[in-house]
Amino acid sequence: MADCLFCKIANHEIDSEIVLETEGTVAFRDINPVAPSHVLVIPKRHVVSAHELGGGDAGLLGELFETVTRVASDAGIAEGYRVVTNVGADAGQTVHHLHLHVIGGRSMSWPPG
Ligand code: 5GP
Ligand code: ZN
pLDDT at 81 > cutoff 90? yes
What is the average pLDDT across 71-99?
98
Cβ–ligand 1 contact at 89 (below 6 Å): no
Q: Is 25 in the pocket of ligand 1 (CB under 6 A)?
A: no
In the prediction, which pLDDT does 69 show?
A: 98
pLDDT of residue 53: 97
Give the count of beta carbons closer than 10 Å to the beta carbon of residue 36: 12
Q: Which residues of 60-81 are buried (b: 16+ CB within 10 A; e: fewer)?
A: beebbeebbebbbeebebeeeb
**pLDDT band of 80, cuts 50, 70, 90:** very high
pLDDT tens for each residue of 7-63: 999 999 999 999 999 999 999 999 999 999 999 999 999 999 999 999 999 999 999
CA-wise closest residue to 19 among 61, 60, 75: 75
- Model confidence at 113, in pLDDT bands (50, 70, 90)? confident
Residue 2 is predicted with a pLDDT of 85
Residue 104 Cα to ligand 1 middle (Å): 16
Q: How confident is the model at residue 1 (pLDDT cuts 50, 70, 90)?
A: confident
Question: In the predicted model, is pLDDT for residue 94 greater than 90?
Answer: yes
CB 38 within 8 Å of CB 103: yes
